Amino acid sequence: MKGDKKPIAFVEDTCVEPKHLKEFVPRFADIFAKHDTTGAYYGHCSVGCLHIRPVIDLKTPRGLEQVKAIADEITDLVLEFGGTISSEHGDGRARSPFLERMYGPTLMRAFRRLKHAFDPDNRMNPGNIVDSPGILENLRYGIAYKTWEPKTLLDFSAQGGFAASVEMCNGVGVCRKKLEGTMCPSYMITKDEEHSTRGRANALRAVLSGRLPAAEFTGTRLYEVMDLCLECKGCKAECPSNVDMAKLKYEFLYHYYKANGLPLRNRMFGRVAKLSALAARTPRLSNAINALPPVRWLLEKTAGIDRRRPLPALAPETFEQWFRRRTPPAAAPRGEVVLFHDTFVTYNTPEIGQAAVRLLEGAGYRVVLVDRK
């Protein structure tokens, strides 16, 4: 959600008997209206479980007041209907302060004794379930939360700026899924939080909010966090908040390389078209040289290209050479189309471009190539 107001998860796991929903939901909404806000509604009505998140700006005193008041009143409402404030998502820091109202002092004392018996030093999840701090403690945002805004190369105005684009991540963690979808491929392999979309957003947020020094914005550690992002844009499509980590990475890399210089590897890959054009003048010789063990060793040491990874072979004839020497059809009754042939079709896999041309010409089109110069 764009802007500082976000749907906040703290009363998002209530559950009452389904027969009460007709009365319960309007009264839930009345509490929101009383405190000048609205909510994002979702749930499993067949079992009475509701995931309703009030939209609140936690960076303002008014927002913090809303959190405290809404949490108190929703807890009372749930208890009135004989329900629970935690049905699927657990208690955590958000609901632990209200558990004594749910279970009563006798059960809470038993919870504390059990906790102390197994964890006398209070090392495991301190503050959860028992002896919890208030709901306004340990918030990610608050009235003291401030960010600095880098001067960006790309346009982030639609999201409210670079920092606001980072803050679109609300921490729900869908990027940590392992068995379906695209987001996030690096996390699916490493299972490491820092290689998830959320982990990268949190790292950027830590720098922009001052929890880490501003110099870290162009530092090696943040580069390592961002590096395994494949820029697939799976997060933009699959994240509930549509976080565009690829775009954030582009911007980060601009600042990182501006501060630290562009390494040889990047210069090589950035000029792959020019290098391929030079090598394609003598494709057989170039392929033979690229396959030599000393060359593979040198590329591994200087450009980080694993010596076991064969380089794309250059074709004996480029796609453009083939295109110029072929005889096009005399007529093109269906008009003209422009074919964009990339570097790899041009120099490495011209058969792909050739097949496209034959298909289009067979369908009655005149094919024109993009002027790559």
Percent of the chain with pLDDT over 70: 99
Q: Which two tokens stand for residue 188?
A: 């699916």
User: Do 132 and 96 touch, CB atoms closer than 8 A?
Assistant: yes
For residues 3-40, one letter each, b for 16 or more C-beta atoms within 10 angstroms of the residue's C-beta and e for the rest, the string is ebbbbbbbbbbbbbeeeebeebbeebeebbeebebebb
Considering the chain, what is the average pLDDT of its residues?
94
pLDDT in tens, 57-112: 999 999 999 999 999 999 999 999 999 999 998 888 899 999 999 999 999 999 99
- 118 CB contacts (<8 Å, ≥6 apart)? 124
Query: What's phi and psi for 157, nearest 5 deg?
Result: -65, -30
- 315 CB contacts (<8 Å, ≥6 apart)? 280, 283, 347, 348, 349, 350, 351
Q: Which two tokens stand for residue 224?
A: 């390592």
What local confidence, expressed as pLDDT, does residue 170 receive? 84
Q: How many CA atoms lie within 13 A of 234 on its CB side?
A: 19
Taking the C-alpha atoms of residue 255 and residue 261, their distance in angstroms, rounded to an integer, is 10
AA letter at 138:
N
- Per the rule left: phi > 0, alpha: psi between -120 and 50, beta: everything else, 336 is beta
- 178 CB contacts (<8 Å, ≥6 apart)? 187, 188, 191
Fold of the domain spanning 157-260: Fumarate Reductase Iron-sulfur Protein; Chain B, domain 2 (1.10.1060)
pLDDT in tens, 17-64: 999 999 999 999 999 999 999 998 989 999 999 999 999 999 999 999
Going by C-alpha positions, the residue among 200, 171, 170 that lies closest to residue 185 is 200
pLDDT in tens, 263-282: 988 999 999 999 999 999 99
Residue 369 CB burial class (10 angstroms; 0-12, 13-18, ≥19): middle
Q: Does 6-118 match 157-260 in CATH topology? A: no
The pTM is what? Answer: 0.78
What local confidence, expressed as pLDDT, does residue 241 receive? 87
What local confidence, expressed as pLDDT, does residue 373 receive? 65
Q: Is the pLDDT of residue 150 over 90?
A: yes
Q: Which two tokens stand for residue 230?
A: 């494949």
CB atoms within 10 A of CB 205: 20
User: Do 348 and 273 touch, CB atoms closer than 8 A?
Assistant: no
Task: Please state the domain extents for the chain.
Answer: 6-118, 157-260, 264-303, 319-369
Going by C-alpha positions, the residue among 92, 112, 178 that lies closest to residue 186 is 178
Taking the C-alpha atoms of residue 137 and residue 96, their distance in angstroms, rounded to an integer, is 12
Name the helix (H) or strand (E) containing 221. helix 220-227
Taking the C-alpha atoms of residue 85 and residue 78, their distance in angstroms, rounded to an integer, is 7
What local confidence, expressed as pLDDT, does residue 90 receive? 86
β-bridge mates for residue 336, sequence order:
366
Residue 353 CB burial class (10 angstroms; 0-12, 13-18, ≥19): buried
User: Do 367 and 361 touch, CB atoms closer than 8 A?
Assistant: yes
CATH class of 6-118: alpha beta
What local confidence, expressed as pLDDT, does residue 205 receive? 94
Give the ranges where 41-161 is alpha helix by DSSP (H): 61-80, 92-95, 99-118
AA letter at 211:
R
Q: Is the pLDDT of residue 176 over 90?
A: yes
- The mean pLDDT value for 310-325 works out to 95
Taking the C-alpha atoms of residue 52 and residue 40, their distance in angstroms, rounded to an integer, is 6
pLDDT in tens, 209-241: 999 999 999 999 999 999 999 999 999 999 988
